C-alpha cells in the first residue's frame, strides 16, 4: 500500500515507527508535495498519511508552510507538484472538508445562527436538517442564547465558537483548523480546547489542526507532525499516547505530558532558531540591497 512510497527527509532520533508517514487506514494521503510561490519554496517534499478519525496536529516555526499545507487541503491553494488523495467513504453525502480559520472569519453581517448555518445553506441542505444541526452545535458551543446576536456583540472567544459551530454543523469528512485559538487569552483558550475535545468525542472526525503551541498539540492530538523551518519539510512524527477522553487540567499532572512537551520542544527548538536566523539574514540582505540601490 502506501508504505511503498517513501520520501522521508526526517532526520530525528525518535523511534523508527514514528518516522513512517503511513497509517493503516488513511483518510488523507499526501505524497512528495511541493508548493512554491514564485521563487520561494513553501513546502518541499512533504509526505504523510492521516488516519480516519485521527486528531492530527502540525507544529512548526512560523513561515514553515503549515498554513499553506492546510489551505491546500481546504482547496484554497493549488499544489506545485506531488499528490494528495482524500479518501471519502462510498456513498458519503458529506462535504469533503470544512475549515476553522485563524482570526475573525465569521461574517459580521450575519447573526450567529446564520453564520453557523452557512455551510449547510450553501449546499442547499433541507431546512429541517439545518435547524437540527445548527441547533445542536450552537447548544454544544454554549451559543444558543446568542443565536440572534451579531458578531460585533460577541467576545473574541464566542466568535471563535461560532466558527467552530459553523464547521461542525456542516458535517464534513475532515475538519481543518488553522490556529483557531491563537488570538485568545489563556483562559478562554483552555476552555475552548476542552469544548473542542468534547464535541470531537461525539463523532471522532478526522481533524488536521495547526498550532504553534506545543502544549496545545499534546492536549488535543493523537499524533503530532513537527515541520522544519522554511522550506517546510517533515522533521518527525510524534505519537501522543495519552488516553481519551482527556481532561486538559489533569493531563498536566501526567508524567508523560512533561516528557512529550520536552521532546517536541527539543525537535522544534533548532527549527525555531533556524527560522529566526533566516529572518535576520533576509533582513540583512534587504538592507544591503537597499544600500546598493541608493545613489552615492
> Under the criterion CB under 8 A, does residue 257 sit at the interface with another protein?
no
* CA angle, 137 then 77 then 225, to 5°: 70
Question: Could you tell me the smallest distance in angstroms from the CB atom of residue 98 to another protein?
Answer: 7
Question: Could you tell me the smallest distance in angstroms from the CB atom of residue 134 to another protein?
Answer: 14
> Under the criterion CB under 8 A, does residue 104 sit at the interface with another protein?
yes
List the one residue from 75, 88, 155, 198 that touches another protein (CB under 8 A). 75
Residue 287 host element (H or E): helix 255-293
List the one residue from 123, 244, 287, 288 that touches another protein (CB under 8 A). 123
Contacts with 94 (C-beta within 8 Å, 6 or more apart), sequence order: 88, 171, 172, 173
Distance between CA 208 and CA 7 in Å, rounded?
21
Residues 144-163 that bind another protein (CB under 8 A): 150-152
Q: What grid cell was written down for 253?
A: 499532572
> Under the criterion CB under 8 A, does residue 195 sit at the interface with another protein?
no
Residues in binding contact with another protein, number by CB under 8 A: 23
Question: Could you tell me the smallest distance in angstroms from the CB atom of residue 100 to another protein?
Answer: 10
Strand intervals (E) in the chain: 26-37, 40-51, 55-59, 81-86, 97-100, 174-178, 206-211, 223-227, 234-239
List the one residue from 101, 168, 219, 237 that touches another protein (CB under 8 A). 101
Dihedral angle at the C-alpha atoms of 273, 275, 279, 284, nearest 10 degrees?
60
Among the candidate windows 26-34, 79-87, 117-125, 258-266, which touches another protein by CB under 8 A? Answer: 117-125
> Under the criterion CB under 8 A, does residue 232 sit at the interface with another protein?
no
**Contacts to another protein by CB under 8 A:** 74-76, 95, 97-99, 101, 103-105, 107-110, 118-119, 122-123, 150-152, 170
Amino acid at each position: 500500500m502506501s508504505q511503498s512510497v517513501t520520501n522521508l527527509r526526517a532526520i530525528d532520533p525518535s523511534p523508527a515507527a514514528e518516522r513512517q508517514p503511513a497509517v493503516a487506514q488513511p483518510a488523507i494521503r499526501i505524497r512528495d508535495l511541493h508548493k512554491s510561490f514564485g521563487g520561494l519554496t513553501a513546502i518541499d517534499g512533504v509526505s504523510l498519511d492521516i488516519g480516519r478519525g485521527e486528531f492530527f496536529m502540525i507544529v512548526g516555526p512560523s513561515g514553515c508552510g503549515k498554513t499553506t499545507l492546510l489551505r491546500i487541503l481546504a482547496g484554497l491553494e493549488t499544489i506545485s507538484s506531488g499528490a494528495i488523495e482524500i479518501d471519502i467513504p462510498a456513498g458519503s453525502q458529506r462535504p469533503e472538508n470544512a475549515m476553522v480559520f485563524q482570526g475573525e472569519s465569521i461574517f459580521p453581517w450575519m447573526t450567529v445562527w446564520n453564520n453557523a448555518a452557512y455551510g449547510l445553506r450553501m449546499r442547499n441542505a433541507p431546512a429541517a436538517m439545518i435547524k437540527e444541526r445548527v441547533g445542536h452545535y450552537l447548544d454544544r458551543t454554549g451559543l444558543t442564547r446568542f443565536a440572534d446576536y451579531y458578531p460585533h456583540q460577541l467576545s473574541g472567544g464566542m466568535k471563535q465558537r461560532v466558527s467552530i459551530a459553523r464547521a461542525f454543523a456542516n458535517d464534513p469528512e475532515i475538519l481543518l483548523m488553522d490556529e483557531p485559538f491563537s488570538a485568545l487569552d489563556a483562559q478562554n483558550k483552555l476552555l475552548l480546547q476542552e469544548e473542542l475535545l468534547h464535541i470531537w468525542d461525539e463523532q471522532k472526525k478526522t481533524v488536521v489542526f495547526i498550532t504553534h503551541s506545543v502544549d496545545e498539540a499534546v492536549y488535543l492530538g493523537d499524533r503530532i507532525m513537527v515541520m522544519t523551518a522554511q522550506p517546510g519539510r517533515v522533521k518527525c512524527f510524534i505519537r501522543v499516547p495519552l488516553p481519551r477522553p482527556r481532561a486538559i487540567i489533569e493531563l498536566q499532572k501526567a508524567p508523560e505530558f512533561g516528557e512529550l512537551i520536552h521532546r517536541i520542544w527539543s525537535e522544534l527548538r533548532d527549527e525555531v532558531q533556524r527560522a529566526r536566523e533566516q529572518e535576520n539574514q533576509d533582513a540583512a540582505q534587504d538592507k544591503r540591497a537597499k544600500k546598493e540601490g541608493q545613489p552615492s
